[in-house]
Amino acid sequence: MIYTMLQACKETGMTYQGLKFYCNEGLVPNVKRDKINRRIFDEHDIAWIKSLRKLRKCGMSIADMKEYMNLCLEGEKTIPQRQVILARTRERLQRQIDELKESIRYIDNKQGFYDGVLSGAAEYVSNLLPCSCDFDTK
């Protein structure tokens, strides 16, 4: 099947501007043109564009996506280099997940503290408000 730009956008979930940007950046290397010079895409292009979207959602930079694509174009012999790029991306994603989990733990702890204060089980303490502590200023 052959897709126009608009059909390719619908099929891949990309905006027209986004797909045009990817094409202009050379990220869709095998784009063909119809007789009036409009971009057209085949099933392979659509599958590749969907892959690009997933890589971008993983936070991969345009430069890394280009490097990955160029390695793909070189064929099977570059699989080890592609695995390195994907492993690096995965490690970064795992760090982000760990940071998010730590943030959630912080929020959960704060909520637990506030629940305790509201129920009377815990005394309210603030890092922002002065306490009624007596400090020896001598």
Whether the predicted model's global pTM rises above the 0.85 cut: no
Whole-angstrom Cα distance, residue 28 to residue 122? 59
CATH classification for the domain delimited by 1-57, as one of 3.40.50.720, 1.10.645.10, 1.10.1660.10, 2.102.10.10: 1.10.1660.10
**Average pLDDT score over residue span 76-99:** 97
pLDDT reported for residue 46: 97
Amino acid at site 1:
M
The length of the chain, given as a count of residues = 138
**Average pLDDT score over residue span 110-120:** 96
User: CATH 1.10.1660.10 residue ranges in the chain?
Assistant: 1-57
Out of 34-48, 75-89, 123-137, least confident range: 123-137
pLDDT reported for residue 127: 87
